[in-house]
Chains A and B, each alone.
Chain A
Amino acid sequence: DTEVTQTPKHLVMGMTNKKSLKCEQHMGHRAMYWYKQKAKKPPELMFVYSYEKLSINESVPSRFSPECPNSSLLNLHLHALQPEDSALYLCASSQEGLAGGSYNEQFFGPGTRLTVL
């Protein structure tokens, strides 16, 4: 299994809703990432988990809350979002954790297209 899966594919939510995005990989990768991508822009890093611990938080607003229940799963909990949070949310994983000593390529899921009304 060499893929990263994400659910749901599309999500529409109101500003008062609470929802979660899910990401799963079964490649034994030790690092997992959340990115936000606006139209016609490159991805922006949000969070990195390395060996199931939050290693990087790119000053993301607290209305986004990541969770890594185990080495294969990564969630992103959403609460009180704003319309400007509408974007494609991408999950990725890489073989080594951030302490691996060398950079390794990230493999991306298909993304969740989020619309906040």
Chain B
Amino acid sequence: AQKVTQAQTEISVVEKEDVTLDCVYETRDTTYYLFWYKQPPSGELVFLIRRNSFDEQNEISGRYSWNFQKSTSSFNFTITASQVVDSAVYFCALDSNYQLIWGAGTKLIIKP
């Protein structure tokens, strides 16, 4: 079965703290893609990253970094020096037959 678990329903931190959002997935496919999307209060889903199953290199984009570990079926997302504008719901997703299997989302609250 294909499944994505984001166990953290809500995380609240003070601005400038680092925060990690967890994502654990299940799939029997040998080739698959994983995604992170951000949904701010305005509602629009913003694509952040796509990672394929053959590329286990960690990725850094500014204050954002992603840690993909196939051995533990995890694709965690870290925000360094968080800012109030990072407040949003973050979704992790797994592709399955060209459809996205979504995690439940983690609501991130950054307090000034």
Interface residues of A (CB under 8 A from B): 40-43, 45, 48, 56, 88, 90, 92, 98, 103-111, 113
For the complex, give the distance between the alpha carbons of A92 and B37 in Å: 13
For the complex, give the distance between the alpha carbons of A110 and B100 in Å: 18
B13 close to chain A: CB less than 8 A? no
B45 close to chain A: CB less than 8 A? yes
CB-CB nearest in chain A for B47 = A105
**Does B45 contact A45, Cβ atoms closer than 8 Å?**
no
A28 vs chain B, min Cβ distance (A): 17
**Does B43 contact A56, Cβ atoms closer than 8 Å?**
no
Chain A residues, Cβ within 8 Å of B91: 42
Query: Can you give 14 A-B contacts (C-beta < 8 A)?
Result: A40-B105, A42-B104, A43-B100, A48-B98, A90-B43, A92-B45, A103-B33, A103-B50, A106-B100, A108-B45, A109-B44, A110-B43, A111-B43, A113-B43
**Does B100 contact A45, Cβ atoms closer than 8 Å?**
yes
CB-CB nearest in chain A for B96 = A103
Grouping DSSP codes into helix (H, G, I), strand (E, B) and loop, the B interface class, with mixed when no group exceeds half, is strand
For the complex, give the distance between the alpha carbons of A107 and B37 in Å: 10
CB-CB nearest in chain A for B44 = A110
For the complex, give the distance between the alpha carbons of A59 and B44 in Å: 25
Interface size on B (CB < 8 Å)? 20
**Does B42 contact A110, Cβ atoms closer than 8 Å?**
yes
Interface residues of B (CB under 8 A from A): 33, 35, 37, 42-47, 50, 91, 93, 95, 98-100, 102-105
Asked whether A105 and B35 contact (CB < 8 A) given A42-B102, A42-B105, the answer is yes
**Does A43 contact B95, Cβ atoms closer than 8 Å?**
no
Chain B residues, Cβ within 8 Å of A110: 42-44
Asked whether A103 and B95 contact (CB < 8 A) given A42-B105, A45-B100, the answer is yes
For the complex, give the distance between the alpha carbons of A40 and B103 in Å: 12
Chain B residues, Cβ within 8 Å of A111: 43-44
B8 vs chain A, min Cβ distance (A): 14
Partner of A56, one of B33, B37, B44, B99: B99
Asked whether A103 and B104 contact (CB < 8 A) given A43-B45, A113-B43, the answer is no
